[in-house]
Amino acid sequence: MKYALGMATALALSSTVAPAATAAEPDFATIKITRVSGWFGQEDFWTTRGGFVPRQKFAVDITNVVGHDERSLKLFISFPTDRLEVTAYEGEGWTCRDVNEGIGAEGLTCTQDHLIVHEEAWPTLTIETKAEAIWTQDSIDLYAEADGHAAVHAAKPFRIDTST
């Protein structure tokens, strides 16, 4: 359900910005999500402790792979805001704002205006969150788009563990 609503939000965002891309078009970018601090466990399934410090940090790297220059990157980061609260973000040229339009359409929307050539990455975006003291299992979903390309999706499953 979350994926469908999150993707619907990402697609709605793209339809308001530029015409839809053709189905045969390859992804314009790759998205890499890496844990920085506060997360542990397997790389393909992160775990953190709810209600405790240190805060959780993860980094997002998006690389242009479409074969020509790109700009006007838009990134929607979907996660349950009642479980993970964004406490800070940093990255050269990034502007972010909270989004809370219901389940699957909540998280953070970020923009980046740097012109990036083929095979280069936009500046890294680092997000700091505070996990609430509520057990949950969900995912951090990212949808990136630029210059009318179809949204590229990446996800990181996670768990907030409240056991003692």
Instruction: Yes or no: say if 154 and 31 are a contact pair by the CB < 8 Å rule.
Output: yes
Domains of the chain: 2-18+27-161 (2.60.40.680)
pTM of the model: 0.81
Tell me if residue 124 falls in helix, strand or coil.
coil
Per-residue pLDDT of the chain (164 residues; tens, 9 = 90+): 344 444 444 444 444 343 444 455 679 999 999 999 999 998 889 999 888 767 999 999 999 998 889 888 999 999 988 899 999 999 999 999 998 877 767 899 999 989 899 899 999 999 999 999 889 999 999 999 998 889 999 999 999 998 76
Whole-number Å distance between alpha carbons of 123 and 92 = 6
Whole-number Å distance between alpha carbons of 113 and 22 = 24
Give residue 75's Cα distance to chain centre.
Answer: 6
pLDDT of 25 reads: 64
Whole-number Å distance between alpha carbons of 27 and 152 = 6
Name the token pair of 40: 């542990």
Closest CA to 75 of 125, 35, 138, 4: 125
Which phi and psi (to 5°) does residue 7 adopt? Answer: -65, -40
